[in-house]
Structure 1
Amino acid sequence: MNRKMIRYARAVRLAGLAGLLGAGLGMTAGAAHAQGTQTLRFGVEASYPPFESKTPSGQLQGFDIDIGNAVCQRMQMKCVWVENSFDGLIAALEARKFDVINSAMNITDKRRQQIDFTPAVYVMPIQMVARRGSGLQPTPASLKGKQIGVLQGSTQEDYVRKHWATQGVSIVTYENQDQIFADLAAGRLDGAVQEVQTATDGFLSKPQGKDFDFAGAPLKDPATLGEGTGFGMRKNDAALKAKVDAALDSLRQDGTLTKLSMKYFGRDIVAK
């Protein structure tokens, strides 16, 4: 074989090797893309029991967590949970840090201006907690000059700012619910507004909440408190939303959502 033929053969071998490497890289990228399409990323703020919280070992648990895992199973996708502060969930969703907000977020017109929602999954009353015997009621007249704690970025914050803050009630916002309960027990707050089950499981049923109780009736205002809780999604993710909607409807129809509701609350809070 002369030099010219040797150089030609070598060039053919190199070209073949490059083709194989390129194909391998393409297959790797394709596999990564395929794997990515099988992952559903949920955004959650995990300090709102019994909806979402952590076990002592750091594992996520709660009603919303079980619903999310059931949705992933029904869609044959892998659940990935991304923790984020509640007041930053919408911004993080729009920044594509995750695909779906699943964190006890109530559906309101204000939020609908930024994101889409699934149909309501469940409905939970909102109520004020105060020290037993304080005589406080969830009215501006009763709370004037008092300090009321709410979760930052929540519908509860929208409600109290609209109805109470302008009437002399001091509103104190927190990044997570545990901080609210700690300050309430320590006497740094006169009351707190949150979902009924969160107050029951996260505070009233524990030693630190033994001197507290619900004060007054559940709060009512669809404009601020919304029409139930759903999953939040980006407006341009219509195809994914349709799949998530279908999964949730399937779980509603076969009774899975009701079973989970009975597990956590002893009653059916699933939106009909």
Structure 2
Amino acid sequence: MGVCGACTYEYYLNRTLKIPGFDFQFTVPEDIEIVTYDTDSTGIQDLALGRIDAMVSTVPTLEEAIKKGKKITLLGEPIFQEPLSVATDKSSLLPGDTLVAEINAVIEAMRADGTLSELSMKHYGVDFTKGAGS
């Protein structure tokens, strides 16, 4: 099973993924061999060449590889959903709490008015704001 090394997917496959506030149900077979890669692209290339049997990555990354001609197939539903965040530069001219509060307000407004859903559908064809498998 190929996976990006030191990424959330590797931690998930090893059953060591911990994110405060989230309880993951690990649905990973006990006897898999995990092969780590520096990038998803390298793992996807090995998958397409038959060097590995499977690859865990994001749906958009795998779909893009398929669009670019990689001979791979998506199977089933996403195995888990990870919460994502916005990173800020600590050297910003705004005080950290002010900047974070402003970003949070903008994101919440975009969620409330449907903009996040629209952007997800436009760019990915799936509304990722609804959770895994939606």
Question: Which TM-score tier does this pair reach, normalised by the shorter chain?
Answer: 0.5 to 0.7
Say whether residues 1:152 and 2:13 are aligned partners.
no
Percent identity (aligned): 31
Give the TM-score of the pair, scaled to structure 2. 0.68
Could you list the runs of 5+ residues in structure 2 that have no partner in the other structure? 16-25
Where do 1:88-237 residues align within 5 Å? 148-162=1-15, 164=28, 167-201=30-64, 203-209=65-71, 212-220=72-80, 225-226=81-82, 228-232=83-87, 237=96
Indicate how the Cα distance of structure 1 residues 249 and 271 shifts in structure 2: closer, same or farther if over 3 A, else same: farther
Q: How far off its partner does 1:262 sit? A: 2.1
Tell me which stretches of 4 or more aligned residues in structure 1 moved more than 6 Å.
Answer: none
Alignment partner, residue 21 of structure 2? none
Alignment partner, residue 245 of structure 1? 104
Q: How far off its partner does 1:259 sit? A: 2.4
- Count of residue correspondences: 116
**Counterpart of 1:173 in 2: which secondary structure?**
strand
Query: Which structure's relative contact order is higher, taking Cα pairs within 8 Å and 6+ residues apart?
Result: 1
Could you list the runs of 5+ residues in structure 1 that have no partner in the other structure? 1-147
Question: Going by fraction, where is helix more abundant, 1 or 2?
Answer: 1
Q: How far off its partner does 1:216 sit? A: 3.9
Which has the higher Rg, Structure 1 or Structure 2?
A: 1
1:268 corresponds to which of 105, 127, 132: 127
CA displacement, residues 118-161 of structure 1 (integer Å, 9 cap, x when unaligned): xxxxxxxxxxxxxxxxxxxxxxxxxxxxxx11122322111111
